[in-house]
Amino acid sequence: RTEKNREEQRRTEKNRTEKNREEQRRTEKNREEQRRTEQRRTEKNRTEKNREEQRITEKYREEQRRTEKNREEQRRTEKNREEQRRTEDNREEQRRTEDNREVQRRTEKNREEQRRTEKNREEQKRTEKYREEQRRTGKYREEQRRTEKNREVQNREEQRITEKYREEQRRTEQRRTEKNREEQRRTEQCTVFN
C-alpha cells in the first residue's frame, strides 16, 4: 500500500506538474496574443494618426498653394493696372505735347503772317510814296506795270508758302493718324496678352 501510495503521489505530482506547465503555456500564449493584439491596435492607431496628420499637412499645403496662386494673380493684376496707368499717362503726355506743338505752330504762323502784313504795309507806303513821285515825274504807268508784276511774283510766292504749309499740315495729320493706329494696335495686343 505504501508503494501504491507513492505511485499515486508521483502520478498526482506529475499531473500537477503537467497541468501547471499547460496552464503556463496557455498563460504565455494568451500574453503573446494580447501583446500582438495590443501591437496591432497601436500600429493601427499610429497608421490612422499618420494618415490624419498627412491629410492635415496636405490640406495645409493646398491652402498655401491657393494663397500663393492668389497672391501671384493679384501681383499680375496690379502690374497690369500699373502698366495701363503708365500707358494712359504716356498718351496724355503725348496729347499735351502735340497740343503744345500745334499751338506753337499756330503762334509761329500768326507771327509770320503779322510780319508779312507789316512788310506789305511798309511796301505799300513806299509804293504809294513812289507812285506820288512817279505821277509827278510822268512815269506812273511804267511803275504800275512793275507793281503789277511784283504783285504777281508776290502772289506766286505766297501761294507757294501756303501750299507748303498745307503739305506740312497734311504730313503732320498723316503721322498723327499712323501713330494713333500703332498705339491702338499695341493696346489691342496688350489686351489680348492680358
Average pLDDT score over residue span 7-27 = 91
Residue, of 62 and 130, whose pLDDT is higher: 62
Rounded mean pLDDT, 62-77? 96
Question: What are the C-alpha distances in Å from 145 to residues 55, 63, 148, 159, 188?
Answer: 109, 98, 5, 21, 64
Report pLDDT for 138. 62
User: Rounded to two decimals, what is the model's pTM?
Assistant: 0.35
Q: How far is CA 76 from CA 66, 71, 99, 189, in A?
A: 15, 9, 34, 17
Mean pLDDT of the chain: 90
- Is 192 a residue whose pLDDT tops 80? no
**pLDDT level of residue 52 (50, 70, 90 thresholds):** very high
Mean pLDDT of 6-23: 90
Q: pLDDT value at position 139?
A: 66
Residue 140: pLDDT band (50, 70, 90) is low
Residue range 135-143: mean pLDDT, rounded: 71
How confident is the model at residue 152, as a pLDDT?
Answer: 92
- Distance, CA of 69 to CA of 64 (rounded, Å): 8
- The pLDDT, as a whole number, for residue 90 is 94
- Beta carbons within 8 Å of 12's beta carbon, 6+ residues apart: none
| All three cell numbers of 185 | 494696335
Amino acid sitting at position 87: T
Question: Which range (55-64, 128-137, 174-183) has the least confidence?
Answer: 128-137
Amino acid at 48: E
